[in-house]
């Protein structure tokens, strides 16, 4: 792809940064008082997800605060510093991430760059002595995930993956209902996270506003499977409390004029578990549809979209993403939360208490190994492929 077709790449160029601005003493004192006892977070990548979902929630977080940025756009970094009140001395370029070691008020780096850069930026942050929260998918290969884990272990820092639904109340209560025997022995599940990327690409107006790096298989790692397919994998695992032993997968691309080779439009796949539980899953760019239904002889546990919300969707614009939980046809109340703030607060709690973090690098590696098995099955025409964990 040409650079013009991938505007996100322009953010990843090395930039020379101006000297830090002088901050008034009163401003410093106020900031220190407000952030006392919290861990500073630097966002690595200031694209749409950081802008819409992460940054707006940081000011209201309990255990973390917005402390800096790593970006390829110096001017944008200064704009964000002014907007969110962090010092310009805490703006770094991607090439200068080693200098993060000098930023004592930054404890966590949240990596929000394209998939193929997760490993590079996570390893750089770990080497600088910073705890790392990485966006999903953790990386584009199990080998990269292993390198990230090794770097974190060598630096004695935490490595987490943004699996925010592990703390989302509707999903948590669904797990509790299933573990409590609400539907009896689990038999089957249907999990899908699809969105209308194809329709957006076909519309000249919308196409100018949606991320194009998803069309580059080297940057994205693949197609819909690497974009949203990890959510059905996650759901099948945390709702059953198990990990699949084998998979079968069937890719399809209907709009070959929109999606290049290596970027599948749809991936339908089956996850088979050692007790016979079967999860039917799909990730697609052809349509917008979410499903999260787990079945047993006594009924079903289903997570549904709330008003203007979605089953798997994140909070955005400092507003929750509404969801509903239905257990055996009865609605169960659950809170809608600011998921990114909760995620980073939980990460900070694990760090400060030196306790395990639920969504760690090992979980991210596990999921990428499942994804690799899915792609292997797809290449073999849907043959059953064992998951090697």
The helix (H) or strand (E) run that includes residue 226 is helix 224-227
The yes-or-no verdict on residue 11 having pLDDT over 60 is: no
- Rounded alpha-carbon distances, angstroms, from residue 355 to 62, 158, 348, 352: 18, 10, 10, 8
Q: What is the pLDDT of residue 209?
A: 85
Average pLDDT, the chain: 92
- Between helix 142-155 and helix 118-127 the angle, nearest 10°, is 10
Q: What is the pLDDT of residue 29?
A: 40
Strand partners, 92: 70
Q: What is the pLDDT of residue 33?
A: 55
Whether residue 375 contacts residue 369, with contact meaning beta carbons closer than 8 Å, is answered with no
Q: Looking at the structure, give the CATH architecture of the domain made up of residues 3-162.
A: 3-Layer(aba) Sandwich (3.40)
Q: What is the pLDDT of residue 36?
A: 84
Q: What is the pLDDT of residue 124?
A: 98
Query: Each residue of 60-72: pLDDT tens digit?
Result: 999 999 999 999 9
Phi and psi at 305, nearest 5°, equal -65, 140
Class of domain 165-338+361-386: alpha beta
**Hey, which of 20-34, 67-81, 203-217 has the most confident mean pLDDT?**
67-81
Query: Each residue of 143-184: pLDDT tens digit?
Result: 999 999 999 999 999 999 999 999 999 999 999 999 999 999
Q: What's the rounded mean pLDDT across residues 263-275?
A: 98
Portions of the chain given CATH number 3.30.360.10: 165-338+361-386
The yes-or-no verdict on residue 27 having pLDDT over 60 is: no
pTM of the model as a whole: 0.91
The yes-or-no verdict on residue 2 having pLDDT over 90 is: no
Query: Each residue of 208-229: pLDDT tens digit?
Result: 888 899 999 999 999 999 999 9
Portions of the chain given CATH number 3.40.50.720: 3-162
- Tokens for 35? 């952030």
The yes-or-no verdict on residue 39 having pLDDT over 60 is: yes
Query: Each residue of 90-127: pLDDT tens digit?
Result: 999 999 999 999 999 999 999 999 999 999 999 999 99
Q: What is the pLDDT of residue 377?
A: 98
Q: What is the pLDDT of residue 25?
A: 36
Sign of the torsion formed by the C-alpha atoms of 234, 235, 239 and 242 = negative
Q: What's the rounded mean pLDDT across residues 360-371?
A: 98
Q: What is the pLDDT of residue 169?
A: 98
The percentage of residues in the chain with a pLDDT greater than 90, rounded to a whole number, is 88
Q: What is the pLDDT of residue 96?
A: 97
Query: Each residue of 222-260: pLDDT tens digit?
Result: 999 999 999 999 999 999 999 999 999 999 999 999 999
Nearest to 83 by CA among 108, 46, 113, 32: 46
The yes-or-no verdict on residue 31 having pLDDT over 90 is: no
The helix (H) or strand (E) run that includes residue 176 is helix 169-179
């Amino acid at each position: 792809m040409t650079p013009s077709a991938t505007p996100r790449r322009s953010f990843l160029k090395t930039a020379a940064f101006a000297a830090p601005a002088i901050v008034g003493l009163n401003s410093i004192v106020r900031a220190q008082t407000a952030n006392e006892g919290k861990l500073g977070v630097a966002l690595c990548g200031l694209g749409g997800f950081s802008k819409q979902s992460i940054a707006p929630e940081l000011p209201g977080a309990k255990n973390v605060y917005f402390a800096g940025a790593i970006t390829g756009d110096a001017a944008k970094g200064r704009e964000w510093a002014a907007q969110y009140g962090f010092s310009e001395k805490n703006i770094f370029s991607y090439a200068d991430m080693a200098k993060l070691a000098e930023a004592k008020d930054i404890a966590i780096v949240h990596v929000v760059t394209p998939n193929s850069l997760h490993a590079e930026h996570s390893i750089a942050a770990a080497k600088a002595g910073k705890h790392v929260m990485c966006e999903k998918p953790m990386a584009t290969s199990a080998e990269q995930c292993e390198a990230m884990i090794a770097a974190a272990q060598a630096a004695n820092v935490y490595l987490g993956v943004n699996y925010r639904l592990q703390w989302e109340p509707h999903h948590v209560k669904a797990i509790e209902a299933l573990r409590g025997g609400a539907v009896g022995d689990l038999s089957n599940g249907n999990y899908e996270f699809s969105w209308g990327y194809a329709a957006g690409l076909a519309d000249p107006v919308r196409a100018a506003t949606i991320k194009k790096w998803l069309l580059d298989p080297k940057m994205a790692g693949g197609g819909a499977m690497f974009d949203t397919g990890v959510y059905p994998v996650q759901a099948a695992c945390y709702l059953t409390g198990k990990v699949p032993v084998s998979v079968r997968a069937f890719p399809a691309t209907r709009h070959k004029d929109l999606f290049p080779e290596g970027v599948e439009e749809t991936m339908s796949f089956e996850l088979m578990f050692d007790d016979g539980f079967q999860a039917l899953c799909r990730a697609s760019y052809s349509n917008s549809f979410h499903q999260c239904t787990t079945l047993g002889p006594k009924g079903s546990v289903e997570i549904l979209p709330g008003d203007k919300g979605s089953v798997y969707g994140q909070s955005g614009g400092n507003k929750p993403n509404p969801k509903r939980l239905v257990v055996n046809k009865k609605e169960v109340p659950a809170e809608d939360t600011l998921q990114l703030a909760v995620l980073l607060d939980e990460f900070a709690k694990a760090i400060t208490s030196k306790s395990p973090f639920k969504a760690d690098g090992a979980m991210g590696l596990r999921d990428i190994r499942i994804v690799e098995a899915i792609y292997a099955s797809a290449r073999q025409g849907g043959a059953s492929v064992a998951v090697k964990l």
